[in-house]
Amino acid sequence: MIPNRLALVLSVPLAAGLALPFAGLRANRIAAAEPVWLWQALGWPATLGICLCAVLTVARGRLLAAPALAAWLALLGYVAARLASGGSEYARVSPGAGFWLGAVALALLLADGLARRQPGPAARLAWLAGSLVVLGLLLQGWDNVSILQEYGARRVTFWGEAQRHLALALGSFAAAVLVGVPLGILIQRRDRLHGAVMGALTAIQTVPSIALFGLLILPLGWLAAYVPLARAMGVSGIGMAPAFVALFLYALLPMVTNTVAGLRGVPASVSEAARGMGLDPRQRLTRVDLPLALPVILTGARIVLVQNIGLATIGALIGAGGFGTFVFQGLGQTAPDLILLGALPTVALAFAAQVVFDALIDLLPGVRP
């Protein structure tokens, strides 16, 4: 079978993944890694067998990408166990450049295969659930991989920060939807407000995230000091409150923009027909305009959700917690595996949120053509 063009392109990073160091062996968690190639860890016969499997995967990527990716992840756990056996209790085995390149190439091959099959929303959700189950089982064999060792030392803290991350991302997302959609409807109907509102929201987007978090510390600190109700609600100059407000403000522009774009995309003939049927402006909005604009509005909501999951990481700089806590702790301790403990769950959460959101949109009747 002749591989498609994408498979041929991805064969380059996959080959690089086999040629570059597969893992790194550290004397301790912050020491420089000593590169370890597959042939050093497994021997030449096994390495040549893996290369042959890689060629078959490229040739039949859509059929073998899923088991090949699972085997690649399991291989890291096996190599880590071999390298760690008989070593110092402080030694760490971390994924190398070769592992990451190979994993990305195989993941892209798998995504291409799924896209070509065009699975329905239920099938995509089933794939996601199955992938999470398989990933969880594979991680059971990663006891000697440094990322899992960092997790083991922070197990309780990790899940607490995960809850804070979700609270920040989902809470600010819900607030942006509740405010952004009505605001978009308002400025779409009143042109005089459109320029001022869009200008203000655009100006907020130009402010760097760290700067916006810092700018919110003073006003929210003043509210906490002089407004008892705000203090009772947990508002303070640092912590969850400024991070929540910043994420909410960043999310308003895509929500408002997509709401306006969706409403303006409603054909004039449809609006005229609804008016001719005797529907008043409120009925036209709820029965005609909003249902037709819903796909564009939901696209904006999806963008906001994925954006907020990523930006919530920055909130750790002002004491908001979340996965960013591990990222910045790792930067301060020059511990790359601790950085990955915060970064990888954020990426996985954003990806899962997008898959789930897209599937739910497709499941809504009449949303997609």
Close Cβ partners of 292 (under 8 Å, ≥ 6 residues apart): 262, 265, 266, 270
Considering the domain architecture, whether residues 305 and 204 belong to the same structural domain is answered as yes
Considering the domain architecture, whether residues 57 and 179 belong to the same structural domain is answered as no
Q: Which pair of tokens denotes residue 117? A: 């099959």
Considering the domain architecture, whether residues 79 and 226 belong to the same structural domain is answered as no
Tell whether 139 is covered by a domain: no
Tell whether 313 is covered by a domain: yes
CA distance 333 to 107: 31
Which residues are registered as beta bridge partners of 23?
Answer: 36, 95
Considering the domain architecture, whether residues 341 and 232 belong to the same structural domain is answered as yes
Contact 33, 25 (CB under 8 A): yes
| Domain boundary residue, one of 118, 140, 169 | 118
- Residue 252 sits in a domain whose CATH number is 1.10.3720.10
Considering the domain architecture, whether residues 171 and 284 belong to the same structural domain is answered as yes
Close Cβ partners of 173 (under 8 Å, ≥ 6 residues apart): 251, 301, 304, 305, 308
Considering the domain architecture, whether residues 215 and 329 belong to the same structural domain is answered as yes
Tell whether 126 is covered by a domain: no
Considering the domain architecture, whether residues 94 and 229 belong to the same structural domain is answered as no
pTM over 0.85: yes
CA distance 313 to 322: 6
Tell whether 98 is covered by a domain: yes
Distances 287 to 271, 275, 283, 297, 311 between C-alpha atoms, Å: 11, 12, 6, 15, 35
Location of structure tokens 């700089």 = 317
Distances 124 to 130, 247, 284, 304 between C-alpha atoms, Å: 10, 29, 34, 21
Considering the domain architecture, whether residues 106 and 162 belong to the same structural domain is answered as no
Tell whether 77 is covered by a domain: yes
Phi-psi region of 22 (alpha: psi -120 to 50; beta: other; left: phi over 0): alpha
Tell whether 241 is covered by a domain: yes
CA distance 113 to 67: 13
**Boundaries of domain holding 113:** 5-118
| pLDDT tens, the chain, 369 aa long | 455 677 777 788 888 888 889 999 888 877 788 899 999 888 888 889 988 888 888 777 666 888 889 999 999 999 998 888 866 777 889 999 999 998 998 888 888 888 888 888 888 899 999 999 999 999 898 988 999 999 988 999 999 999 999 999 999 999 999 999 999 999 988 878 888 889 999 998 888 888 888 888 888 888 888 888 777 777 787 888 889 999 999 999 999 999 999 888 888 888 778 787 877 778 888 888 888 888 889 888 999 999 999 999 998 988 888 999 999 999 988 888 899 999 999 999 999 999 998 888 888 765 544
Considering the domain architecture, whether residues 344 and 264 belong to the same structural domain is answered as yes
| Domain boundary residue, one of 61, 89, 118 | 118
Considering the domain architecture, whether residues 82 and 197 belong to the same structural domain is answered as no
Contact 80, 94 (CB under 8 A): no
Tell whether 144 is covered by a domain: no
Question: For the chain, how many structural domains are there in total?
Answer: 2
Strands (E) in 87-127, as ranges, are 92-95
Tell whether 127 is covered by a domain: no
Considering the domain architecture, whether residues 216 and 353 belong to the same structural domain is answered as yes
Considering the domain architecture, whether residues 205 and 271 belong to the same structural domain is answered as yes
| 3-class DSSP state of 74 | helix
Location of structure tokens 């939807």 = 177
pLDDT at 246: 92
